[in-house]
Amino acid sequence: MFARFITEYRDENDIVGTLAGECVIQDSQARTKTSEVYSAFRAWCIAQGLPLRFIIGDQRLQPR
């Protein structure tokens, strides 16, 4: 039961994962500039009403 709460907490607070799930189309042949990804991330954060710390924070993109 406790493990379920941890999983739910992680899912609810995984900002990059949520963005990826909503906005990213996986294509092994596609390429996107980091600046374009950041711009999309920033716009998404603003649209979601997320605090500025998520926009300029220390979140690192990692493969899923």
pLDDT tens per residue across span 5-26:
888 888 777 888 888 888 889 8
Long-range contacts of 8-17, Cβ-Cβ distance < 8 Å, separation of 24 or more: 15/45, 15/50, 15/54, 15/59, 16/41, 16/59, 16/61, 16/62, 17/64
Q: Which whole number is the average pLDDT over 44-62? A: 70
**Whole-structure pTM over 0.75, yes or no?**
no
